[in-house]
Chains A and B, each alone.
Chain A
Amino acid sequence: MTVDDDTVRRIAHLARIKIEDSDVAGLRSELSGILDWVEQLNEVDTDGVEPMTRVAAHKLKKRKDVVTDGEMADVVVKNAPFSEDNYYVVPKVIE
């Protein structure tokens, strides 16, 4: 499977990764190579095989409905580039 230049640009945009036009050709061939490699899995006949979701026989761990965390706003916003009154402050985003 090969991807085209537009797909490379679209994937980059969706992932919010800035790429230069000069990067597109190289990324295209790398992504196509990865997909080709993974596609070898299609050669395996998986008819009637349940999808495997885990290697070991673990069950999903669950918590009780008890408040055990939080109440540390200053710690939460400590690494924010900007904060005020314990709000994160970010460039304006509005519909």
Chain B
Amino acid sequence: MGKAAKEKTNNLMRGADGDWEVIVGLEVHAQVASKSKLFSGSSTGFGAEPNSHVSLVDAAMPGMLPVINEECVAQAIRTGHGLNAKINPYSVFDRKNYFYPDLPQGYQISQFKQPIVGEGTVTIDVDGETREIGVERLHLEQDAGKSIHDQHPDYSYVDLNRSGVALMEIVSKPDLRSSKEAQVYVAKMRTILRYLGTSDGDMDKGNLRADVNVSVRKPGAELGTRCEIKNVNSIRFIGQAIDVEARRQIGILEDGGQITQETRLFDPAKGETRSMRSKEEAHDYRYFPDPDLLPLEISEDYIASLKQGLPELPDEKQARFVNELGLSAYDASVLIAERENANYFEAVAKGRDGKTAANWVINELFGRLNKEGLDISASPVSADQLGGIVDLISEGTISGKIAKDLFEIVWTEGGDPAEIVEARGMKQVTDTGAIEKTVEDVLAANPEKAEQARAKPNLAGWFVGQVMKASGGKANPKVVNDIVKKKLGV
């Protein structure tokens, strides 16, 4: 456990007789981005006809032998680099033995004592606080097939399309102290994997899921007995599962009971976790080295060459946005969460003011995309177009208010922002003569208010608003402000 984790004292959960500390460790299972499976040449494609992406290796026909996919090894190493982890030049594949109909081999090929990646760290930001969460290890393993239980009252249907697809199991240390931290950790892990291109992290397709280990203790006490909640498949459910499981354990302990170490299942509909008793006796997995596979040996040169090819990672990008483009840490964190969003922002910010670009991307564009339920790739406003709008503001050609109208026009009708402004007469009026005339008209129409404003200069703002309104939002607000003050003599 990291030092920071030990010292952590907030985030406590209140029980009937005092506070409890919640301890969480996560095993994230991420599907490796690859064309073919870990040990066979069949496709990893999603949504295929039942048992179509299955070779005789995946179906565990007698005599079939596994041959490792070198790209899956490379992806695991890249991920290790992205987690600042130690890459093990020598690792071993083991058999994890259990029986289930969607596991035709009767064992899963996994890595037990000697995983390909060792200790690393993930940095998370929670409520303005930065914490380092330890990664214990990352290992490669096979996914199982899929059982479908609702097709027939007495039978289950088994599809092996997923069987043998490569997974990375990424095990954290028990450094997380709340459901919120666990959620932020998983989101960050997903971002890192997507930046690296080593997993698409698509939770809707089950390509990223987590086993959640939860225990509770009195602050500063020894670690309590933990329960493992299997296969939680959304960030929201991970948070809910931790909260209800911690509550359940606190209830038992405060009633004088003991926690039994066991595997549990989260039921989102009922908002509870329940024991998976059948898994208990199967817990004796009798791991042993797979005699079909020699140890996996990788050279230091190969490990280093994969590090060379890594893209800029989320933490580096965030730091650059803050240090070089002058963004706030919060804005930077919003922009880097998805690589596509960050790329879009960078295209808008290129050669322009970073803060203005960030405001427009986050507030106007993301706001609108969220409202319409659209992804950045489906944005009707391109980075060039948004950049054009930002240019028109910085040049003083249009006011901020008109810019919002312009954004709306570009969103719905498309077109070049500068041409639209020209064609529709949206240019900001900076002609002081015209503005002076409007100011005089407004002052003449409101003699009492003018009198008050002379006495109380902060009332001048009302006149600025009136003049802006009279100009249809096209007057330059700064110029209006100056002229109003001059005419009022304040």
Contacts and interface: CB of A to CB of B under 8 A. Distances in A.
User: For this complex, into which size category does the number of interface residues on chain B fall?
Assistant: 35 or more
Contact of A65 (B55, B70, B152, B153): B70
Most chain B CB atoms below 10 A, which of A13, A68, A93: A93
Interface stretch (B290-298, B407-415, B481-489): B290-298
A82 B159 CA distance: 13
A71 B70 contact: no
A18 interface: no
Interface in B136-171: 147-149, 151-160
A93 B152 CA distance: 12
Interface string A60-77: 111111111111110111
A12 B390 CA distance: 73
Contacts, number: 136
Interface stretch (A19-27, A29-37, A39-47, A51-59): A51-59
A58 B297 CA distance: 11
A33 B297 CA distance: 37
Interface stretch (B46-54, B209-217, B364-372, B419-427): B46-54
B203 to A, nearest CB: 21
A87 B67 contact: no
Given A88-B51, A94-B149, A62 B69 contact: yes
B157 A84 contact: yes
B51 A86 contact: yes
B284 interface: yes
B41 A66 contact: yes
Contact of A60 (B41, B68, B149, B279): B68
A71 B54 CA distance: 7
B42 A70 contact: yes
Nearest to A16: B99
Contacts of A65: 34-36, 69-72
B51 A61 contact: no
Contacts of B282: 14
Nearest to A80: B158
Nearest to B74: A65
Contacts of B147: 93
Contact of B158 (A54, A72, A87): A87
Nearest to B90: A53
Interface in B113-127: none
B276 interface: yes
Interface string B306-325: 00000000000000000000
Contacts of A76: 51, 54, 56, 59, 160
A82 B155 contact: yes
User: For this complex, into which size category does the number of interface residues on chain A fall?
Assistant: 35 or more
B155 A58 contact: no
Nearest to B100: A93
Interface in B62-112: 67-73, 97, 99-101
A64 to B, nearest CB: 7
B154 to A, nearest CB: 6
Interface string B22-59: 00000000000011100011110000011111111111
B294 A59 contact: yes
Contacts of B152: 89, 92
A90 interface: yes
B286 interface: yes
A48 interface: no
A66 B42 CA distance: 8
A53 to B, nearest CB: 5
Contacts of B57: 69
B363 interface: no
Contacts of B54: 70, 72-73, 76
B101 A86 contact: no
B265 interface: yes
A93 B101 contact: yes
B157 A62 contact: no
A85 interface: yes
Interface of B: 34-36, 40-43, 49-59, 67-73, 97, 99-101, 147-149, 151-160, 265, 276, 278-279, 281-282, 284, 286, 289, 293-297
The 6 closest A-B pairs by CB, nearest first: A70-B42, A65-B71, A68-B41, A69-B41, A69-B55, A88-B158
